[in-house]
């Protein structure tokens, strides 16, 4: 069954998913793959654009699902609450949450300021931690759910120049493992993905060509990953194929 036929594979048929950071890169690929697999998606982005509206409309028409853009800044509490109210107003249950939004920053330890640390942790962890608290309340009512947190291999490998960024993603790994236990009684599963170097704007804007090539050279598969490859793992964790997978961190890195 090809994608061009507009048929859903169906791994998420009838499910409803929230995906943050949907405007580009990994998040956009996750929205597309989830829609292809039958999910209705609340595609969260910081700002409205004609291109993103068109992307959502085209997916909805192609796969006969609902792809609803939700615009809000995760760093603004009032906008976050308004987004949750908009989701609740649809009267649809929330089956899946993918915490994908985030920013990156590369600098040596001695060159990293307190302001940068606060910015990274607020964007990559604090804001989405609070957002997840709201969503878990909705999932708990239905006694089910799957949460997928997008972390990073930088949280696991001690990569030079990425101590601050890696630490902000490591916080998600710790939260993933703890929440998988705390929420198990509902039961809500919580897992994380740790992507390696992936072909996204965030990577190309934050790394020099030399660093990218060096990283690829230390990867067993000798290539950069595609956002769709991260999305495929998110699909697995969101679907019932992973119904007994909980509290795990799955590296998708080509063998780094």
- pLDDT tens, 230-246? 999 999 999 999 999 99
Cα gap 13→35, rounded to integer Å: 9
Examine the pLDDT at 3 and tell me if it is beyond 60: no
pLDDT: which is higher, 226 or 43 = 43
Question: In whole angstroms, how far apart are CA 135 and each of 94, 96, 187, 207?
Answer: 8, 9, 14, 34
In this prediction, residue 216 has a pLDDT band, given cuts at 50, 70 and 90, of confident
**For residues 135 and 224, what is the distance between their CA atoms, to the nearest angstrom?**
33
Residue 133 has pLDDT above 80, yes or no: yes
Confirm or reject CATH 3.30.428.10 for domain 10-252, answering yes or no.
Answer: no
User: Does residue 201 register a pLDDT over 90?
Assistant: no
User: Per-residue pLDDT for 189 more than 60?
Assistant: yes
Asked if 95 and 17 touch (Cβ cutoff 8 Å), the reply is: yes
Phi, psi of 104 (to 5 degrees): -125, 160
The mean pLDDT of the chain is 91
pTM: 0.91
Q: What is the helix (H) or strand (E) element at residue 148, kind and residue range?
A: strand 145-150
Give the pLDDT confidence of 55-91 residue by residue, as tens digits: 999 999 999 999 999 999 999 999 999 999 999 999 9
The catalytic residue among 129, 165, 186, 244 is 165
Average pLDDT of the segment spanning 190-212: 78
User: Is 165 one of the annotated active-site residues of the chain?
Assistant: yes
Q: What percent of the chain is predicted at pLDDT more than 70?
A: 93
**189: exposed, middle or buried (Cβ count in 10 Å: 0-12, 13-18, 19+):** buried
Q: Which long-range contacts (CB under 8 A, 24 or more apart) does 182-186 make?
A: 183/136, 183/140, 183/145, 183/147, 184/246, 186/139, 186/140, 186/143, 186/144, 186/145
Question: Domain residues of the chain, as ranges?
Answer: 10-252
Read out DSSP for 62-98?
HHTS-EEEEE--TT-HHHHHHHHHHHHHTT----EEE
């Amino acid at each position: 069954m090809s994608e061009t036929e507009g048929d859903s594979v169906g791994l998420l048929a009838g499910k409803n998913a929230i995906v943050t950071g949907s405007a580009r890169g990994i998040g956009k690929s996750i929205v597309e793959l989830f829609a292809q697999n039958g999910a209705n998606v609340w595609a969260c982005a910081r700002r409205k654009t004609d291109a993103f509206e068109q992307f959502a409309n085209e997916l909805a028409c192609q796969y006969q699902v609902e792809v609803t853009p939700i615009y809000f800044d995760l760093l603004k509490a009032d906008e976050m609450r308004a987004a949750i109210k908009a989701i609740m107003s649809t009267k649809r249950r929330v089956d899946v949450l993918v915490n994908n939004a985030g920013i990156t920053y590369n600098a040596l330890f001695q060159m990293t300021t307190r302001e940068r640390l606060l910015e990274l942790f607020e964007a990559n962890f604090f804001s989405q931690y609070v957002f997840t608290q709201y969503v878990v309340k909705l999932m708990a009512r239905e006694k089910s759910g799957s949460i997928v947190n997008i972390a990073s291999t930088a949280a696991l490998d001690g990569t030079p120049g990425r101590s601050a960024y890696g630490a902000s993603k490591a916080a998600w790994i710790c939260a993933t493992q703890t929440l998988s236990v705390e929420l198990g009684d509902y039961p809500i599963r919580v897992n994380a993905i740790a992507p390696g170097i992936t072909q996204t704007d965030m990577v190309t804007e934050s790394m020099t060509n030399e660093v990218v090539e060096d990283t690829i050279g230390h990867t067993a598969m000798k290539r950069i990953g595609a956002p769709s490859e991260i999305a495929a793992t998110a699909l697995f964790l969101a679907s019932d194929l992973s119904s007994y997978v909980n509290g795990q961190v799955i590296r998708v890195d080509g063998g780094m």
